[in-house]
Structure 1
Amino acid sequence: MKPFTVTSIGLAAVMAASISTAHARDQIRIVGSSTVFPFSSYVAEELGATTKWPTPVIESTGSGGGMKIFCEGNDLNTPDITNASRRMKPSEFERCQENGVTDITEAKIGSDGIAFAQSNENGPINLTREQIAMALLEKVPVDGKLVDNPYKKWSDIDSSLPDREIRLYGAPTTSGTRDAFDEMVLEAVTEEMEEYGNEAYSNIRKDGVYIDSGENDNLIVQKLKKDTEAFGYFGYSFLEENSDALIGASIDGVEPEPEAISSGEYPIARSLWFYVKNSHADDVPAMADYIDLFMSDKMISDLGYLKGIGLIVLPQAELEEWQDRVANRAKLQISDLK
């Protein structure tokens, strides 16, 4: 009998199998949006409490930061799932593809409004998106020309507004909430104005009026409780959880309320998502139970637990469509993002 030998091809296969087994893990790793974080955390805690799997590890890195880490590759040291408070960008999809992350499932979990909030020591206020843009943009039109923003107080923009210094706690550029705010407020206003050449403009002033407060929305909440003259913006769920201390401004005459957010009447409403790296499914078997739990009626329906902590649920037909797509692990295509 010939002695047993291993060819180079066979050895590679054995080593690959060994490495895969060595790195297989029970605990899911999740990154991404601070807005989706409370919902994802609730599902993670439920998974840990009701199944054999350990509670997933979730890092609040911001939507952009999460996408960057998620798309680094298929190695099991990379995240299994990334949360996002805006849809994946085509450029992010392409980066994933370039790094071999080619089998992604997209999950839409509900809607959210961006609350523009202040301490409830102040009275209710209605702001237009144009007033907010004029308060924050680096260049604003004065007498038909774009100049460095001269406004120091809200009343400088409109005499009907409070005689308070303009000061806003907001998200960094890695945040999906920042992306959505820029697009739905700053860019939506400027692309309709001749002074900007009818092109979107979102450069925020750098004189200390806008205070980058990191990815933690709870930090903005705490700052507003102390700095009662300031405004801040964050996901609606954080306003609902802190309604004893904060109030949201009406935007263009519409209150930040669930019905208005769900219908799209509230002008700063967006969708919430998570993205699944299907190549990890076999080596991280807990993923299937976590994903199924997140997309279940128990979590994201009109009677689901997540509605109770601020998620704006999808219309029933749309909810069922997304539940079906995720259950079948529909493969994301770049055409879906355009």
Structure 2
Amino acid sequence: MGRFRRLLIGLSLASASLACAASPAAAQGVMRDRLVIIASTSAGTVSRMLSASFTERFEGVMEPTQRTLPTSGALELFCAGVGPQTPDIAVVVRRMPRSMLETCQGNGVRDVVEMRLGLSAVLLAVRRGEPTVNLTSRQVWEALAAERIVEEEFVPNRRGLWSEVSPLLPRSEIRVLAPNLGTGTNGLFEDMILEGGCRDVQAVRLIFEAAYRRSKCVTLREDGRVQRMGGLEVPAALLASPPGTIGVITFDQLQASGGNLVALSLDGVVPSQASIYAQDYGATRVVYLYAKRQHTRLREGVGVVRGIREFLNEATGEAAAGPGGYLSTTGLVPLPPAERAAQRRIAENMTLLSR
């Protein structure tokens, strides 16, 4: 990890650590009075909902400190080391690669707990009875991106019809309802559909700077073709929209519509519980939680923080991660029953990751 990022995490947590010196936490033999959680952008909503429920469920618990970063940055900070200046938990939408686990171990983070919370899927839907077009991620990006490519140059995107994107698509207006920026559903939409659609575009691949390259993928047009709103508002707005409007929703919202909304095929796969479980549907990610068991241990009578085990139990409980659990409102698809039970055992025993 670079020195700049080390400085960021140190500055963000130093005040909290100092404030705890004379706190009840210090009297209990711990170094911080609250959990510190780092979340990837796409898992931010999941992390916030878990933290809110954890705080309400356990009396006297202080709300965890949270910070969101892209997945790679979140894992880097988690693996920066052990102690009160580093995070206790990371919630991300990608499994920690072996190279990052080696970085963790090299920095002294040896006792890592890994859990799967569920599957996040984002999909495109129309009202029941309307034509269900077969779209690709590339076509979605070409229709919605703020800029299109003409002779290897980026120019404003003024396409008005889907047929202008591809002659195989209908001659209907491009109209899309999308969740507001900063929401978990929009993060998944950006990561899995928009970036997936522009990943192999040569003009985008030639951009050296990663942040600038991503901006070309996820910056959407602002000419009225894309309408932003709260994620929970999209299904109702879609039902009241002109024919041909497409909504960006979660799988849970599709199920809650009672058949009034129909999912579109994306990259040749129709999103269903079966295709999401099997991860055949491309716009699917597994949500992982990583925790440092070392932060729960007492060393010479002093530990880092209390509450890690309780947070893991909250995250894997049926009220959160089961069918109809509160995490389903973030688009999280529950794991199969046997796997949910396995994750609860990991949480209860704080079983260490080994691979």
Q: What TM-score, normalized to structure 2?
A: 0.61
Q: Evaluate the alpha carbon distance shift between residue 167 and residue 287 of structure 1 in structure 2; reply closer, same or farther with a 3 A threshold.
A: closer
Per-residue displacement from partner, 1:57-97 (whole Å, max 9, x unpaired)? Answer: 25351442422332222131222111112222344334333
The answer (yes or no) to whether the contact 2:175–2:246 under 8 Å persists in 1 is no
Does 2:316 match 1:301? no
**Distance of aligned partners of 1:163 and 1:293 in 2 relative to their CA distance in 1, 3 Å threshold:** closer
Q: 1:206 and 1:183 mapped to 2: Cα distance?
A: 5
CA RMSD of aligned residues (A): 4.9
Match runs of 1:124-273 below 5 Å? 126-129=133-136, 130-132=138-140, 135=143, 152-153=159-160, 154-159=162-167, 160=170, 162-164=172-174, 178-181=190-193, 185-186=197-198, 190=200, 205=216, 209=220, 236=251, 249-252=264-267, 256=271, 258=273, 260-273=275-288
Runs of 5+ in structure 2 lacking a partner?
1-20, 206-212, 223-227, 298-303
Shift of 1:270: 1.8
Matched, 1:69 2:90: no
The corresponding residue for 1:313 is 334
Name structure 1 gaps, 5 residues minimum.
1-17, 197-201, 212-216
User: What is the aligned counterpart of 2:312 among 271, 276, 291?
Assistant: 291
From the superposition, tell whether residues 135 and 238 of structure 1 become closer, same or farther in structure 2 (CA, over 3 Å).
Answer: same
| 1:39 corresponding residue in structure 2 | 46
Question: Identity percentage over the alignment?
Answer: 22
The amino acid across from 2:276 in the alignment is I
Offset of 1:109 from its aligned partner?
0.7
Which residue of 263, 281, 296 corresponds with 1:281?
296
Matched residue count: 296
For the pair 1:84 / 2:92, whether they are aligned, the reply is: yes
C-alpha contact (below 8 Å) 1:170/1:210 kept by paired residues: no
> CA 1:151–1:309 in structure 2 vs 1: closer, same or farther (change >3 Å)?
closer
Q: 2:350 aligns with which of 320, 324, 329?
A: 329
Q: Give the CA deviation at 1:32.
A: 0.7
Q: Superposed, which structure 2 residues align to 1:8-47 within 5 Å?
A: 21=26, 24-47=31-54
Structure of higher CA gyration radius? 1
- TM normalised by structure 1 equals 0.63
